[in-house]
Amino acid sequence: METASPAAPADPAAGAPDWRAILDRLAQRHSCRDFDGSKIDREILAEIVRDGTEAPSSCNLQNWHFIIVTDQERKLRARDISGGNLHFADCSALIFLCFQKGWTHGNFSIAQSVAGAAYHMILSAHLRGFQCIWNAGIGDHGQLRDLLGLPPIFEVQAALAIGRAKPTAPDMKAPRRPFAEVHSWQRFERPAICRYPVKPAKAYPFYRIRNDDNPFAEWNPARWSWDQIGDFRGYAVWAKSPLAGVYVSRRQGAATEVELDLLPDLAPGARLLEVMPWGGTYSVALRQRLDREVELHLAELSEHNLSFILERFRQEALATDRVQASLMRGGILPYPDASMDGVVLAQILEHCPEPEKLLDETRRVLKPGGVLVVSARNLWSRYGWRWARVESRAQIPNQGPFRPIPAPRLRGWLKARFEIDAEIGIGRETVEDAAVLRGRGRFFCRLYAARCVRG
Ligand SMILES: Cc1cc2nc3c(=O)[nH]c(=O)nc-3n(C[C@H](O)[C@H](O)[C@H](O)COP(=O)(O)O)c2cc1C
Protein backbone atom coordinates (compact mmCIF):
# COMPACT_ATOMS: atom_id res chain seq x y z
CA MET A 1 0.00 0.00 0.00
CA GLU A 2 1.31 3.44 -0.87
CA THR A 3 1.68 5.93 1.97
CA ALA A 4 1.40 9.65 1.36
CA SER A 5 4.58 11.65 1.77
CA PRO A 6 4.32 13.69 4.99
CA ALA A 7 5.29 16.80 3.04
CA ALA A 8 2.61 16.39 0.37
CA PRO A 9 -0.32 18.88 0.09
CA ALA A 10 -3.39 18.08 2.23
CA ASP A 11 -5.37 17.03 -0.82
CA PRO A 12 -3.04 16.07 -3.68
CA ALA A 13 -5.84 16.48 -6.20
CA ALA A 14 -6.55 20.06 -5.04
CA GLY A 15 -2.90 21.13 -4.61
CA ALA A 16 -1.14 22.96 -7.46
CA PRO A 17 0.67 20.28 -9.50
CA ASP A 18 3.92 22.27 -9.38
CA TRP A 19 3.57 23.39 -5.75
CA ARG A 20 7.10 22.26 -4.83
CA ALA A 21 8.63 24.17 -7.74
CA ILE A 22 6.62 27.29 -6.83
CA LEU A 23 7.73 27.15 -3.18
CA ASP A 24 11.36 26.58 -4.20
CA ARG A 25 11.11 29.59 -6.47
CA LEU A 26 9.62 31.73 -3.69
CA ALA A 27 12.38 30.64 -1.32
CA GLN A 28 14.98 32.07 -3.71
CA ARG A 29 13.69 35.60 -3.15
CA HIS A 30 16.14 37.94 -1.52
CA SER A 31 16.31 41.68 -1.00
CA CYS A 32 17.90 43.93 -3.60
CA ARG A 33 19.49 47.28 -2.73
CA ASP A 34 21.18 47.92 -6.08
CA PHE A 35 18.65 48.66 -8.85
CA ASP A 36 19.41 49.56 -12.48
CA GLY A 37 17.07 52.57 -12.65
CA SER A 38 14.87 51.14 -15.45
CA LYS A 39 11.10 51.66 -15.49
CA ILE A 40 8.35 49.06 -15.00
CA ASP A 41 5.03 49.54 -16.83
CA ARG A 42 2.30 51.14 -14.80
CA GLU A 43 -0.10 48.24 -15.55
CA ILE A 44 2.38 45.69 -14.18
CA LEU A 45 2.92 47.72 -11.01
CA ALA A 46 -0.84 47.94 -10.55
CA GLU A 47 -1.16 44.15 -11.00
CA ILE A 48 1.50 43.53 -8.36
CA VAL A 49 -0.34 45.75 -5.89
CA ARG A 50 -3.66 44.14 -6.80
CA ASP A 51 -2.12 40.70 -6.11
CA GLY A 52 -1.24 41.95 -2.63
CA THR A 53 -4.85 42.80 -1.92
CA GLU A 54 -5.69 39.06 -2.12
CA ALA A 55 -4.08 38.77 1.34
CA PRO A 56 -6.31 38.21 4.39
CA SER A 57 -7.10 41.20 6.57
CA SER A 58 -8.37 41.59 10.10
CA CYS A 59 -12.24 41.60 10.07
CA ASN A 60 -11.88 41.77 6.28
CA LEU A 61 -11.82 45.53 6.67
CA GLN A 62 -8.98 45.96 4.15
CA ASN A 63 -8.19 49.23 5.83
CA TRP A 64 -4.95 49.43 3.92
CA HIS A 65 -3.90 51.92 1.28
CA PHE A 66 -0.96 51.64 -1.09
CA ILE A 67 0.63 54.69 -2.74
CA ILE A 68 2.70 53.83 -5.81
CA VAL A 69 5.39 56.43 -6.43
CA THR A 70 7.19 56.33 -9.80
CA ASP A 71 7.98 60.01 -10.24
CA GLN A 72 11.78 60.43 -10.01
CA GLU A 73 11.73 63.69 -8.06
CA ARG A 74 9.45 62.19 -5.44
CA LYS A 75 11.62 59.08 -5.18
CA LEU A 76 14.68 61.28 -4.64
CA ARG A 77 12.83 63.23 -1.96
CA ALA A 78 11.76 59.94 -0.32
CA ARG A 79 15.40 58.79 -0.38
CA ASP A 80 16.51 62.01 1.34
CA ILE A 81 13.76 61.74 3.96
CA SER A 82 14.65 58.10 4.64
CA GLY A 83 18.26 58.98 5.47
CA GLY A 84 19.88 55.62 4.74
CA ASN A 85 17.87 53.88 2.01
CA LEU A 86 19.82 55.10 -1.01
CA HIS A 87 18.25 52.48 -3.28
CA PHE A 88 15.01 54.54 -3.29
CA ALA A 89 16.62 56.61 -6.05
CA ASP A 90 17.17 53.79 -8.56
CA CYS A 91 14.21 51.49 -7.99
CA SER A 92 11.38 51.63 -10.55
CA ALA A 93 8.71 52.30 -7.95
CA LEU A 94 8.15 52.78 -4.25
CA ILE A 95 4.95 51.37 -2.82
CA PHE A 96 4.14 53.13 0.44
CA LEU A 97 2.25 50.87 2.84
CA CYS A 98 -0.42 52.85 4.70
CA PHE A 99 -3.43 52.09 6.85
CA GLN A 100 -6.47 53.86 8.20
CA LYS A 101 -6.31 54.39 11.96
CA GLY A 102 -9.19 53.67 14.30
CA TRP A 103 -10.08 50.02 13.59
CA THR A 104 -8.61 46.61 14.51
CA HIS A 105 -5.53 47.80 16.35
CA GLY A 106 -5.62 45.00 18.98
CA ASN A 107 -2.50 42.85 18.67
CA PHE A 108 -1.42 45.17 15.86
CA SER A 109 -3.92 43.40 13.63
CA ILE A 110 -4.10 46.29 11.18
CA ALA A 111 -0.30 46.17 10.91
CA GLN A 112 -0.44 42.38 10.54
CA SER A 113 -2.90 42.80 7.67
CA VAL A 114 -0.76 45.34 5.82
CA ALA A 115 2.29 43.11 6.31
CA GLY A 116 0.46 40.14 4.76
CA ALA A 117 -0.44 42.20 1.71
CA ALA A 118 3.09 43.59 1.44
CA TYR A 119 4.75 40.17 1.39
CA HIS A 120 2.19 38.98 -1.17
CA MET A 121 3.26 41.89 -3.40
CA ILE A 122 6.94 41.03 -2.93
CA LEU A 123 6.29 37.43 -3.95
CA SER A 124 4.24 38.55 -6.95
CA ALA A 125 7.09 40.83 -8.05
CA HIS A 126 9.60 38.02 -7.51
CA LEU A 127 7.61 35.48 -9.58
CA ARG A 128 7.38 38.07 -12.36
CA GLY A 129 11.19 38.38 -12.37
CA PHE A 130 11.56 41.73 -10.56
CA GLN A 131 13.56 42.45 -7.42
CA CYS A 132 12.23 44.02 -4.30
CA ILE A 133 13.02 45.22 -0.81
CA TRP A 134 10.87 46.04 2.19
CA ASN A 135 11.89 49.20 4.04
CA ALA A 136 10.69 50.28 7.45
CA GLY A 137 13.44 52.93 7.39
CA ILE A 138 11.35 55.64 5.73
CA GLY A 139 12.39 58.56 7.96
CA ASP A 140 10.38 61.45 9.31
CA HIS A 141 6.64 60.80 9.04
CA GLY A 142 5.74 64.51 8.98
CA GLN A 143 7.84 65.12 5.87
CA LEU A 144 6.45 61.96 4.26
CA ARG A 145 2.90 63.07 4.97
CA ASP A 146 3.58 66.29 3.06
CA LEU A 147 5.21 64.41 0.20
CA LEU A 148 2.37 61.90 -0.11
CA GLY A 149 -0.52 64.18 0.86
CA LEU A 150 -1.45 61.71 3.58
CA PRO A 151 -4.35 62.79 5.85
CA PRO A 152 -3.79 62.55 9.65
CA ILE A 153 -6.17 59.60 10.04
CA PHE A 154 -3.90 57.49 7.81
CA GLU A 155 -0.53 56.13 8.93
CA VAL A 156 2.43 55.18 6.74
CA GLN A 157 4.43 52.16 7.89
CA ALA A 158 7.00 51.30 5.27
CA ALA A 159 7.81 51.34 1.57
CA LEU A 160 8.49 48.49 -0.82
CA ALA A 161 11.08 49.32 -3.46
CA ILE A 162 10.59 47.36 -6.71
CA GLY A 163 12.81 47.30 -9.76
CA ARG A 164 15.40 45.34 -11.71
CA ALA A 165 18.75 44.51 -10.09
CA LYS A 166 21.95 45.80 -11.66
CA PRO A 167 23.84 42.87 -13.23
CA THR A 168 26.59 43.39 -10.62
CA ALA A 169 24.26 43.49 -7.57
CA PRO A 170 25.08 40.88 -4.89
CA ASP A 171 23.13 37.72 -5.67
CA MET A 172 23.14 36.48 -2.08
CA LYS A 173 20.41 35.73 0.37
CA ALA A 174 20.89 36.72 4.00
CA PRO A 175 21.52 33.60 6.11
CA ARG A 176 18.58 32.02 7.90
CA ARG A 177 18.74 30.73 11.44
CA PRO A 178 18.72 26.95 11.77
CA PHE A 179 15.05 25.97 11.71
CA ALA A 180 15.40 24.16 15.06
CA GLU A 181 16.24 27.50 16.72
CA VAL A 182 13.09 29.29 15.66
CA HIS A 183 10.31 26.81 16.29
CA SER A 184 9.13 24.48 18.99
CA TRP A 185 6.13 22.19 19.48
CA GLN A 186 3.41 22.61 22.10
CA ARG A 187 5.51 24.93 24.32
CA PHE A 188 8.13 27.64 24.02
CA GLU A 189 11.70 26.40 23.73
CA ARG A 190 14.63 28.28 22.26
CA PRO A 191 18.39 27.78 22.63
CA ALA A 192 20.28 30.20 24.93
CA ILE A 193 22.52 31.39 22.09
CA CYS A 194 19.62 33.23 20.45
CA ARG A 195 17.85 34.45 23.62
CA TYR A 196 19.68 37.69 24.15
CA PRO A 197 20.24 39.32 27.55
CA VAL A 198 18.03 42.19 28.65
CA LYS A 199 17.96 44.15 31.90
CA PRO A 200 16.09 42.24 34.62
CA ALA A 201 12.47 43.39 34.93
CA LYS A 202 9.16 41.93 36.08
CA ALA A 203 7.65 42.41 32.62
CA TYR A 204 8.65 43.77 29.24
CA PRO A 205 5.64 45.68 27.89
CA PHE A 206 6.20 46.23 24.18
CA TYR A 207 4.82 49.77 24.33
CA ARG A 208 7.77 50.82 26.52
CA ILE A 209 10.24 49.73 23.83
CA ARG A 210 11.23 52.09 21.04
CA ASN A 211 14.28 52.19 18.80
CA ASP A 212 15.55 55.31 20.54
CA ASP A 213 14.25 54.52 24.03
CA ASN A 214 14.55 50.93 25.21
CA PRO A 215 14.70 50.69 29.01
CA PHE A 216 15.49 46.96 28.82
CA ALA A 217 18.45 47.06 26.41
CA GLU A 218 21.53 45.39 27.93
CA TRP A 219 24.52 47.31 26.57
CA ASN A 220 27.09 45.70 28.83
CA PRO A 221 28.85 43.02 26.73
CA ALA A 222 30.04 41.33 29.95
CA ARG A 223 26.43 40.23 30.48
CA TRP A 224 26.38 38.55 27.06
CA SER A 225 28.25 35.37 26.17
CA TRP A 226 30.74 35.35 23.27
CA ASP A 227 28.34 33.03 21.43
CA GLN A 228 25.35 35.34 21.90
CA ILE A 229 27.36 38.32 20.66
CA GLY A 230 28.54 36.29 17.64
CA ASP A 231 25.00 35.15 16.91
CA PHE A 232 23.61 38.69 17.09
CA ARG A 233 26.40 40.27 14.99
CA GLY A 234 26.31 37.49 12.41
CA TYR A 235 22.67 37.93 11.46
CA ALA A 236 22.43 41.70 11.97
CA VAL A 237 25.27 42.45 9.54
CA TRP A 238 22.85 41.41 6.77
CA ALA A 239 20.53 44.32 7.58
CA LYS A 240 22.25 45.80 4.51
CA SER A 241 23.67 44.21 1.38
CA PRO A 242 27.45 43.78 1.13
CA LEU A 243 27.75 46.68 -1.32
CA ALA A 244 30.76 48.96 -1.70
CA GLY A 245 30.83 51.65 0.98
CA VAL A 246 28.24 50.03 3.22
CA TYR A 247 28.58 50.77 6.98
CA VAL A 248 30.96 53.70 6.71
CA SER A 249 29.58 55.58 9.70
CA ARG A 250 29.06 59.30 10.06
CA ARG A 251 30.43 59.11 13.57
CA GLN A 252 33.74 57.97 12.20
CA GLY A 253 34.36 60.66 9.56
CA ALA A 254 38.09 60.73 8.79
CA ALA A 255 38.99 58.95 12.06
CA THR A 256 39.39 55.48 10.46
CA GLU A 257 42.32 56.63 8.35
CA VAL A 258 43.94 58.36 11.35
CA GLU A 259 43.65 55.16 13.41
CA LEU A 260 45.20 53.09 10.63
CA ASP A 261 48.00 55.63 10.12
CA LEU A 262 49.41 54.13 13.34
CA LEU A 263 50.28 50.97 11.40
CA PRO A 264 53.95 50.63 10.49
CA ASP A 265 54.95 49.59 6.95
CA LEU A 266 54.58 45.85 6.64
CA ALA A 267 56.92 43.98 4.33
CA PRO A 268 55.59 41.75 1.51
CA GLY A 269 54.69 38.36 3.00
CA ALA A 270 53.92 39.80 6.44
CA ARG A 271 50.77 38.58 8.22
CA LEU A 272 48.32 41.13 9.60
CA LEU A 273 45.29 40.09 11.62
CA GLU A 274 42.13 42.17 12.04
CA VAL A 275 39.93 40.90 14.87
CA MET A 276 36.12 41.14 14.73
CA PRO A 277 35.78 43.23 11.55
CA TRP A 278 31.94 42.89 11.56
CA GLY A 279 30.93 44.45 8.17
CA GLY A 280 34.49 44.99 6.94
CA THR A 281 34.85 48.78 6.91
CA TYR A 282 38.38 48.61 8.35
CA SER A 283 39.17 45.44 6.36
CA VAL A 284 38.53 47.34 3.10
CA ALA A 285 40.63 50.32 4.25
CA LEU A 286 43.41 47.93 5.29
CA ARG A 287 43.41 45.98 2.02
CA GLN A 288 43.55 49.26 0.10
CA ARG A 289 46.57 50.56 2.00
CA LEU A 290 48.57 47.36 2.58
CA ASP A 291 51.17 46.05 0.16
CA ARG A 292 49.45 43.55 -2.15
CA GLU A 293 51.74 40.79 -0.86
CA VAL A 294 50.78 41.31 2.80
CA GLU A 295 48.42 38.58 4.04
CA LEU A 296 45.28 39.97 5.66
CA HIS A 297 43.68 37.61 8.18
CA LEU A 298 40.17 38.28 9.46
CA ALA A 299 38.80 36.59 12.59
CA GLU A 300 35.09 36.92 13.41
CA LEU A 301 32.63 35.28 15.78
CA SER A 302 30.26 34.22 12.97
CA GLU A 303 30.76 32.79 9.48
CA HIS A 304 28.01 35.13 8.31
CA ASN A 305 30.20 38.19 8.85
CA LEU A 306 33.02 36.57 6.92
CA SER A 307 30.88 35.73 3.87
CA PHE A 308 29.49 39.27 3.98
CA ILE A 309 32.96 40.83 4.02
CA LEU A 310 34.29 38.63 1.21
CA GLU A 311 31.37 39.65 -1.04
CA ARG A 312 31.95 43.26 -0.03
CA PHE A 313 35.58 42.93 -1.14
CA ARG A 314 34.34 41.70 -4.54
CA GLN A 315 31.96 44.66 -4.77
CA GLU A 316 34.85 47.01 -3.94
CA ALA A 317 36.99 45.31 -6.64
CA LEU A 318 39.60 44.24 -4.08
CA ALA A 319 41.66 41.08 -4.50
CA THR A 320 40.87 38.32 -2.01
CA ASP A 321 43.72 35.93 -2.83
CA ARG A 322 45.71 37.15 0.18
CA VAL A 323 42.71 37.47 2.49
CA GLN A 324 42.01 34.62 4.90
CA ALA A 325 38.84 34.58 6.95
CA SER A 326 38.58 32.41 10.07
CA LEU A 327 35.99 31.72 12.70
CA MET A 328 36.91 32.64 16.27
CA ARG A 329 35.05 31.00 19.15
CA GLY A 330 34.86 32.06 22.77
CA GLY A 331 37.39 34.88 22.46
CA ILE A 332 40.18 32.50 21.38
CA LEU A 333 42.10 33.56 18.29
CA PRO A 334 42.37 30.59 15.90
CA TYR A 335 46.10 31.03 15.20
CA PRO A 336 49.31 29.50 16.59
CA ASP A 337 51.55 31.33 19.06
CA ALA A 338 53.83 34.01 17.57
CA SER A 339 52.31 33.72 14.09
CA MET A 340 51.33 37.34 13.28
CA ASP A 341 53.43 40.40 12.44
CA GLY A 342 50.59 42.75 13.30
CA VAL A 343 47.15 42.79 14.90
CA VAL A 344 44.45 45.46 14.53
CA LEU A 345 41.80 45.81 17.24
CA ALA A 346 39.78 48.71 15.85
CA GLN A 347 37.02 49.76 18.29
CA ILE A 348 36.41 46.19 19.27
CA LEU A 349 37.55 45.73 22.87
CA GLU A 350 34.51 47.69 24.03
CA HIS A 351 32.32 45.01 22.35
CA CYS A 352 33.98 42.07 24.10
CA PRO A 353 32.65 40.21 27.14
CA GLU A 354 36.29 39.66 28.22
CA PRO A 355 38.46 42.42 26.73
CA GLU A 356 41.56 41.54 28.76
CA LYS A 357 41.34 37.92 27.60
CA LEU A 358 41.38 39.16 24.00
CA LEU A 359 44.46 41.27 24.76
CA ASP A 360 46.17 38.17 26.23
CA GLU A 361 45.27 36.29 23.06
CA THR A 362 46.61 39.14 20.94
CA ARG A 363 49.91 38.99 22.79
CA ARG A 364 50.04 35.22 22.31
CA VAL A 365 49.58 35.31 18.51
CA LEU A 366 51.95 38.26 17.92
CA LYS A 367 55.57 37.52 17.07
CA PRO A 368 58.13 39.14 19.38
CA GLY A 369 58.54 42.64 17.94
CA GLY A 370 55.08 42.37 16.33
CA VAL A 371 52.81 45.40 16.45
CA LEU A 372 49.32 45.91 17.85
CA VAL A 373 47.26 48.86 16.64
CA VAL A 374 44.35 49.34 18.98
CA SER A 375 41.58 51.91 19.35
CA ALA A 376 38.50 52.18 21.52
CA ARG A 377 35.63 54.54 22.07
CA ASN A 378 36.52 56.57 25.15
CA LEU A 379 34.07 57.01 28.01
CA TRP A 380 36.04 60.06 29.20
CA SER A 381 34.97 62.21 26.26
CA ARG A 382 32.06 64.27 24.97
CA TYR A 383 31.14 61.20 22.96
CA GLY A 384 31.26 59.05 26.12
CA TRP A 385 28.97 61.50 27.89
CA ARG A 386 26.55 61.38 24.94
CA TRP A 387 26.76 57.58 24.88
CA ALA A 388 25.81 57.40 28.58
CA ARG A 389 23.00 59.99 28.33
CA VAL A 390 21.48 59.27 24.91
CA GLU A 391 22.93 56.44 22.83
CA SER A 392 22.86 53.76 25.51
CA ARG A 393 19.16 54.44 26.16
CA ALA A 394 18.32 53.22 22.65
CA GLN A 395 18.18 49.67 21.35
CA ILE A 396 21.39 47.68 20.88
CA PRO A 397 23.03 48.54 17.54
CA ASN A 398 23.54 45.87 14.87
CA GLN A 399 27.26 45.59 15.76
CA GLY A 400 26.19 44.32 19.16
CA PRO A 401 26.33 45.69 22.69
CA PHE A 402 29.27 47.87 23.72
CA ARG A 403 30.48 50.21 26.45
CA PRO A 404 33.11 52.88 25.80
CA ILE A 405 36.24 52.27 27.89
CA PRO A 406 37.89 55.05 29.94
CA ALA A 407 41.15 55.78 28.09
CA PRO A 408 43.38 55.45 31.19
CA ARG A 409 41.92 52.01 31.90
CA LEU A 410 42.72 50.79 28.39
CA ARG A 411 46.19 52.31 28.68
CA GLY A 412 46.74 50.30 31.89
CA TRP A 413 45.66 47.06 30.16
CA LEU A 414 48.08 47.76 27.31
CA LYS A 415 51.00 48.68 29.61
CA ALA A 416 50.59 45.40 31.47
CA ARG A 417 51.18 43.41 28.25
CA PHE A 418 53.04 45.54 25.66
CA GLU A 419 55.41 48.44 25.18
CA ILE A 420 53.36 51.44 24.14
CA ASP A 421 55.16 52.96 21.18
CA ALA A 422 52.72 55.76 20.28
CA GLU A 423 49.39 56.93 21.68
CA ILE A 424 46.90 59.52 20.51
CA GLY A 425 43.40 60.77 21.13
CA ILE A 426 41.22 61.21 18.01
CA GLY A 427 38.23 63.53 17.77
CA ARG A 428 37.12 66.25 20.17
CA GLU A 429 33.50 66.12 18.99
CA THR A 430 30.91 63.38 19.42
CA VAL A 431 30.96 62.63 15.68
CA GLU A 432 33.00 63.06 12.55
CA ASP A 433 36.03 65.22 13.43
CA ALA A 434 39.44 63.55 13.45
CA ALA A 435 41.52 66.06 15.44
CA VAL A 436 44.63 64.32 16.84
CA LEU A 437 45.72 65.14 20.42
CA ARG A 438 48.96 63.85 21.92
CA GLY A 439 49.32 65.52 25.35
CA ARG A 440 47.01 65.02 28.29
CA GLY A 441 44.14 65.84 25.95
CA ARG A 442 44.53 62.35 24.41
CA PHE A 443 42.60 60.96 27.38
CA PHE A 444 39.53 63.07 26.59
CA CYS A 445 38.99 62.44 22.87
CA ARG A 446 36.24 60.37 21.25
CA LEU A 447 38.74 57.61 20.53
CA TYR A 448 41.86 56.57 22.34
CA ALA A 449 44.32 54.79 20.03
CA ALA A 450 47.77 53.30 20.48
CA ARG A 451 50.52 51.42 18.69
CA CYS A 452 52.10 48.78 20.92
CA VAL A 453 54.99 46.39 20.48
CA ARG A 454 55.16 42.87 21.85
CA GLY A 455 58.38 42.51 23.82
C1 LIG B 1 9.71 45.00 8.29
C2 LIG B 1 10.99 45.08 7.51
C3 LIG B 1 11.67 46.27 7.45
C4 LIG B 1 12.85 46.39 6.71
N5 LIG B 1 13.47 47.61 6.60
C6 LIG B 1 14.60 47.74 5.86
C7 LIG B 1 15.20 49.01 5.66
O8 LIG B 1 14.68 50.04 6.11
N9 LIG B 1 16.32 49.08 4.91
C10 LIG B 1 16.90 47.99 4.37
O11 LIG B 1 17.94 48.12 3.72
N12 LIG B 1 16.36 46.75 4.54
C13 LIG B 1 15.21 46.61 5.24
N14 LIG B 1 14.60 45.37 5.36
C15 LIG B 1 15.16 44.22 4.66
C16 LIG B 1 15.83 43.23 5.61
O17 LIG B 1 17.08 43.73 6.03
C18 LIG B 1 15.98 41.89 4.89
O19 LIG B 1 14.72 41.40 4.59
C20 LIG B 1 16.72 40.89 5.75
O21 LIG B 1 18.08 41.30 5.89
C22 LIG B 1 16.68 39.49 5.15
O23 LIG B 1 17.24 39.49 3.87
P24 LIG B 1 16.46 38.97 2.57
O25 LIG B 1 15.25 39.88 2.39
O26 LIG B 1 17.47 39.14 1.45
O27 LIG B 1 16.06 37.57 2.80
C28 LIG B 1 13.40 45.24 6.07
C29 LIG B 1 12.68 44.02 6.14
C30 LIG B 1 11.50 43.95 6.83
C31 LIG B 1 10.75 42.64 6.87
pLDDT band at 1 (very low <50, low <70, confident <90, very high): very low
* pLDDT given at position 9: 63
pLDDT band at 7 (very low <50, low <70, confident <90, very high): low
* pLDDT given at position 252: 81
pLDDT at 10 over 90: no
Segments making up each domain of the chain, as ranges: 25-163, 255-453
pLDDT band at 12 (very low <50, low <70, confident <90, very high): low
At the top level of CATH, the class of 25-163 is alpha beta
User: For the ranges 6-10, 113-117, 184-188, 333-337, which has the lowest average pLDDT?
Assistant: 6-10
State mean pLDDT over 91-116.
Answer: 96
pLDDT band at 8 (very low <50, low <70, confident <90, very high): low
Residues near 329 by Cβ (< 8 Å), separated by ≥ 6? Answer: 226, 227, 230, 301
pLDDT at 3 over 60: no
Q: What would the pLDDT profile of 375-418 be if each residue is shown by its tens digit?
A: 999 999 999 999 999 999 999 999 999 999 999 999 999 999 99
What is the rounded distance in angstroms from the CA atom of residue 447 to the CA atom of residue 409? 13
* pLDDT given at position 249: 82
Q: What would the pLDDT profile of 53-70 be if each residue is shown by its tens digit?
A: 999 999 999 999 999 999
pLDDT band at 13 (very low <50, low <70, confident <90, very high): low
Q: Between 8 and 327, name the one with better pLDDT.
A: 327
Q: Which residues line ligand 1 (CB under 6 A)?
A: 30-31, 33, 85, 133-137, 158, 173-174, 238-240
pLDDT band at 14 (very low <50, low <70, confident <90, very high): confident
pLDDT at 358 over 50: yes
Residue 421 burial class via C-beta count within 10 angstroms: exposed 0-12, middle 13-18, buried 19 and up: middle
State mean pLDDT over 194-203.
Answer: 97
Smallest CA separation from ligand 1 atom 19, residue: 31
Q: What would the pLDDT profile of 235-292 be if each residue is shown by its tens digit?
A: 999 999 999 999 988 778 899 999 999 999 999 999 999 999 999 999 999 999 999 9
Give pTM, 2 decimals.
0.95
Q: Write the CATH number of the domain with boundaries 255-453.
A: 3.40.50.150
Q: What would the pLDDT profile of 145-183 be if each residue is shown by its tens digit?
A: 999 999 999 999 999 999 999 999 999 999 999 999 999
Q: What would the pLDDT profile of 293-347 be if each residue is shown by its tens digit?
A: 999 999 999 999 999 999 999 999 999 999 999 999 999 999 999 999 999 999 9
Which atom of ligand 1 lies closest to the CA of 82? 8
State mean pLDDT over 18-28.
Answer: 96
Q: Which of 28, 31, 240 to mutate to test the pocket of ligand 1 (most atoms within 8 A of CB)?
A: 31
pLDDT at 197 over 70: yes
Q: Mean pLDDT, the chain, as a whole number? A: 96
CA 194 to ligand 1 center in whole angstroms: 19
Smallest CA separation from ligand 1 atom 16, residue: 239
Check residue 347 and give left, alpha or beta (phi > 0: left; psi -120 to 50: alpha): left
What is the rounded distance in angstroms from the CA atom of residue 58 to the CA atom of residue 61? 6
pLDDT band at 22 (very low <50, low <70, confident <90, very high): very high
Smallest CA separation from ligand 1 atom 12, residue: 135
Smallest CA separation from ligand 1 atom 27, residue: 30
Smallest CA separation from ligand 1 atom 1, residue: 136
